[in-house]
Structure 1
């Protein structure tokens, strides 16, 4: 059990692989290193992202101008925590407190790389791990029917142990309602189950100790046909669900009316990931095994019956999407071993027909990615940036923006088939951390919305917690030979 911080192990991680590829029209004259270590590698000028999202990220994590200045016409970059605190006490900003950018400037240097501590261990694969929006609860879902909800504010006490109803293969996704009263879970079935997690009982066995209400996503005309749901998300107001399925479709379910309100025949292959673009929930992003990302505007879909736009750039299927929450930017993880950053203002109305650029046979479920494919570029790539270094194989591995509150969304992080968690700098593309502990694929991971804490879940059955600087507790030792079960870490 160990970790490698970026400034101590860049050499043996293959730093050259963690590069940022951008459109030739973009360039930048200044680099954006992470941290204060003078010996850390600097990203070259051609690897810096010059785009509106880069400027927004810098503004969202930069201290007040008066705090930057140590002498007239001279700036101190980066500004030390001591100077930040002195500036706050001296009220340099005129606010009498830190701004959100000041706060992010302080906190985003402290990456959650210490540890890990083991929250739980099961003998079955962990597929999903997610914090609630306020960070008080943590959800972990396993292939062997169990969905466990831990109270992160009370020593990671097990608050709810849910046994999935009518499990098919595995729990593919879960989502907590914004008020944390309900949890929905999906399996390889057209039924999404909803459970009241606010009840007092810890154990929740479907229709035995508690009711797991099934929400039917298949229509009346599909009797006898079965499909699976890969992705499900609550809307910001908790009134709707959006889901992506193996029948190439997107579904929107009205929870209040208890009925399916919209089905979109969205792609030509499995829809592996869907999400709402922002709080308004008018825009939906989708990613599919047809290699395309699509944007759907529900306000005009019924009249046009087609997507608002299409984004091309991935060479293989898309495993996951995460929205920046502004209705403009999102990222996607792809089976071409890349994360891509998208600006929906660059989308096309149709997918461009291009000559075949794939001259190899490959299946990500059991084959390694071909070496000859690693440097192939999509001839019509519309992405803003591409991040490489992690591995996307065997399962639908997930990626995310780091939290806005503590980092200003300065980083992107992802699980990986090589058993690690990778963290990239959004602007420079540099790999700033690689967390090493797990013995098998890390499918999902979640960064606490307010604290420098990250929890990873793996096919080895471990739920591992990474922190900075740590909570002073002694981590539970892991015996990877005997694989004992531990209910939770107090």
Structure 2
């Protein structure tokens, strides 16, 4: 019988205990987080007498009914203040179970769809609004070893998937056909990222759509970043970016001008596409990790991002701290290890990079065996006040951005959790594990299915994507 446990079902500033007593974070990110997840200042007339933090929901509702804000409704910060304390840590239930390891699980932008990718050539798209039923069951083409990444286009019409080849395949999600077998029931057009047509030349580990849906950016095992022009249907740019595998790439914000990359050379780099074509050089370097980078997630403001690393940490970065050159090499290590099959050496855990430029470091989870992913929590429901990550130790970890506290630890799976995704508007989190299961976590007692459906339908009526 499966067993599950949790640290807390409700986050409160009075109960948060920092992981490290010396944990510090700069004033700007603290203030930004407070502005996004704190009550609206125009409500302070009603809230001033309340000594409790976070402000009770009943008090917030009374202030809204009295219209102290003058807006007749909650602000986005008010919503985050109320919803951000309700963490999706209870009632784990299985969405699906396949016959191979689950590598990817990602909600669509509006939360109406969930994409899950499995090692055994299968990708499933679940309709969240319709009881999590399978909307598209994709049998992948030209798979080598596993699905490494998937991405939905911003308009949610197309899905791309990558494997350990230079080919990325694209599937029309809106055809109405549930069974999508590559080039049998549906055409899976391939996009060739190789420069010379050699389909064994490198592997793709990470792929992302640009905000306008016109381009794809990918990171590969040949130390390079690739940009593919979907309108012209051709490779637009190749950047020889690192000195080792590029495991992860991400856009800094919706403009698409600035990109982040992370590599097994232990470096995070910042790229300005308006300059890189002429110089071939990054806009800057960010040092601090002692081992390879497995994933990067942007905060979306053009300044901050987080990275997961094989040194068993997540770091928060501000690109305004980047340097134009690497000041030093990673400290010399006196141990020999391979993260694919060995535990991280105990003597390495207390090492620090002499030129660490990160804003904060979060510890507790385990980054082993696979490229485990980390993310900022959603803006709408939490004000991005949390960071969450999968872990090799079969759990999902949730950290408070400002205090560094591990506010929740979700345990239910029987194997490593490579990916996880927090619903953009509701306290629901999905985890995908090597135990073949895709699992849904909720806030205690919340009717997630009907609430998610209601929230999505409301946003569509209001004209939101």
TM-score w.r.t. the length of structure 1 is 0.88
After superposition, residues 193-212 of structure 1 pair within 5 angstroms as: 193-212=169-188
Q: 1:2 to 1:173 in 2, by over 3 A?
A: same
- Which residue number in structure 2 is paired with residue 341 of structure 1? 316
Cα-to-partner distance string for 1:436-464 (whole Å, 9 max, x where unaligned): 10000000000000000000000000000
Q: Aligned partners of 1:303, 1:81: CA distance in 2, in Å?
A: 54
Match of 2:420 in 1: 445
Partner in structure 2 of residue 487 of structure 1:
none
Mapping for residues 390-401 of structure 1, pairs under 5 Å: 390-401=365-376
Deviations, residues 11-59 of structure 1 (Å, cap 9, x unaligned): xxxxxxxxxxxxxxxxxxxxxx9416x6664678742423311110011
Instruction: Say whether 1:59 aligns with 2:35.
Output: yes
The equivalent of 1:5 in structure 2 is 6
Counterpart CA distance in 2 for 1:261 and 1:372 is 45
Q: Deviations over 1:167-207 (max 9, x none)?
A: 10000000000111100000000000001111011011111
Write the mapping of 1:409-420 to structure 2, written as runs, cut at 5 A.
409-420=384-395
Q: SS at the partner of 1:231?
A: strand
Which residue of the partner structure matches residue 232 of structure 1? 207
Task: Indicate if the aligned counterparts of 2:138 and 2:180 stay in contact, CA closer than 8 A.
Answer: yes
Q: Aligned pair in 2 of structure 1 residues 404, 330: CA closer, same or farther (>3 Å)?
A: same
Say which of 364, 379, 395 aligns to 1:404: 379
| 2-structure distance, mates of 1:461, 1:74 | 47
Report if the CA contact (8 A) 2:264-2:292 is conserved. Answer: yes
Q: Distance in 2 between matches of 1:44 and 1:315?
A: 19
| 1:325 maps to which of 300, 312, 315 | 300
Partner of 1:125: 101
How big is the shift at 1:225?
4.7
Deviation, 1:303, is 1.6
Distance change (3 Å), C-alpha of 1:373 and 1:69? farther
Alpha-carbon distance between aligned partners in 1 of 2:325 and 2:398, rounded to the nearest angstrom: 33
What CA distance in whole angstroms lies between the structure 2 residues aligned with 1:76 and 1:65? 16
Contact 1:67 1:83 in 2 (8 A): no
Cα distance in 2, alignment partners of residues 235 and 116 from structure 1: 33
The match for 1:162 is 138
Counterparts in 2 of 1:156 and 1:224: CA distance versus 1, 3 Å: closer
Cα shift readout 1:358-409 (whole Å, capped 9, x = no counterpart): 1211110010000000010001100000000000000000000000000000
Q: Which residue of 1 aligns with 2:337?
A: 362
Q: Which residue of 1 aligns with 2:150?
A: 174
Q: Does 1:80 align with 2:81?
A: no
User: In 2 relative to 1, CA 208–348 (structure 1 residues): closer, same or farther, beyond 3 Å?
Assistant: same
Q: Which runs of 4+ in 1 moved over 6 A?
A: 42-45, 70-74
Q: Which runs of 5+ in 2 are unaligned?
A: 450-465
Aligned 8 A contact 2:105 2:117 in 1: yes
Partner deviation per Cα, 1:309-338 (whole Å, 9 max, x = no partner): 010000000000000011111000000000
Q: CA deviation at 1:65?
A: 3.1
Distance 1:261 1:384 in 2: 34
Distance 1:125 1:290, change over 3 A: same
CA distance in 1, matches of 2:19, 2:104: 33
Give the drift of 1:87.
Answer: 0.3
Alpha-carbon distance in structure 2 between the residues aligned to 1:385 and 1:63: 25
Equivalent-residue separation in structure 1 for 2:398 and 2:385 (angstroms): 10
Q: Is the 8 A contact 2:19 2:363 kept in 1?
A: no
**After superposition, where does 1:140-159 map in structure 2 within 5 Å?**
140-159=116-135
- Indicate whether 1:289 and 2:256 are aligned: no
Q: Give yes or no for contact 1:7–1:40 (8 Å, CA) kept in 2.
A: no
Question: Any conservation in 2 of the 1:339–1:388 contact (CA below 8 Å)?
Answer: yes
| TM-score, normalised via structure 2 length | 0.92
Root-mean-square deviation (Å) = 2.0
Report if aligned partners of 1:2, 1:115 keep a CA contact under 8 Å in 2: no
Tell me, in whole angstroms, the C-alpha distance in 1 between the residues paired with 2:21 and 2:372: 30
Q: Is the 8 A contact 2:341 2:369 kept in 1?
A: yes
Indicate which of 262, 282, 291 corresponds to 1:316: 291
Rate the CA distance shift 1:147–1:309 in 2: closer, same or farther, 3 A. Answer: same
Which has the larger displacement, 56-65 or 97-106? 56-65
In structure 2, the CA distance between the partners of 1:354 and 1:451, relative to structure 1 (3 Å rule), is: same
Partner of 1:35: 12
Closer, same or farther: CA 44–74 of 1 in aligned 2, 3 Å: farther
Q: The residue matched to 1:4 in structure 2 has which SS? A: coil
Q: Is the 8 A contact 2:254 2:300 kept in 1?
A: yes
Structure 2 SS opposite 1:123: coil
